[in-house]
Amino acid sequence: MWWLIPLLLAAGPAQAQRPRCDYGSGLAGLRTAAQEFSRPLQGLLEGRERGLAIAGTLRASQGIFTGCGCPRLAELTGETIGQAERAGTEPSAAAVGRAFELGRFRLGLAQEAADRNGCR
């Protein structure tokens, strides 16, 4: 039984056995999306394109948070993705602006959760 001790010591903690998650890149994606949501709207087509680009950025962040084991943060990011995608299909610039406002609000909730609770 003494021969098990070196094997256990060599294995290290379980956390060290897992691949590292890129949580910081996920947070950077949230910051990028916040900046994009906050830029002034130049028109309907530009707003639609920006909404779809924001959705892509947030989708990448959501994947990172899911991979890191942060289900609540991934869920909040997913809600924001919905607003960004909605902006990409709105019929008027005013509607895109409203979708961006709601997206900023939902993104703020995700960022607050990340600041307050970290990866949960």
Domain boundary assignment for the chain: 21-117
pLDDT at 67: 94
Residue with tokens 């962040």: 61
**Cα angle: 66, vertex 89, 95; to 5 degrees:** 105
Q: Are 29 and 58 in contact (CB under 8 A)?
A: yes
- Two tokens at 56? 């892509």
Whether pTM exceeds 0.85: no
Q: Which residues 6+ apart lie within 8 Å of 46 measured at CB? A: none
* pLDDT per residue rounded down to tens, the chain (120 residues): 655 555 555 554 444 334 568 999 999 999 999 999 999 999 999 999 999 999 999 999 999 999 999 999 999 999 999 999 999 999 999 999 999 999 999 999 999 999 999 887
pLDDT at 3: 57
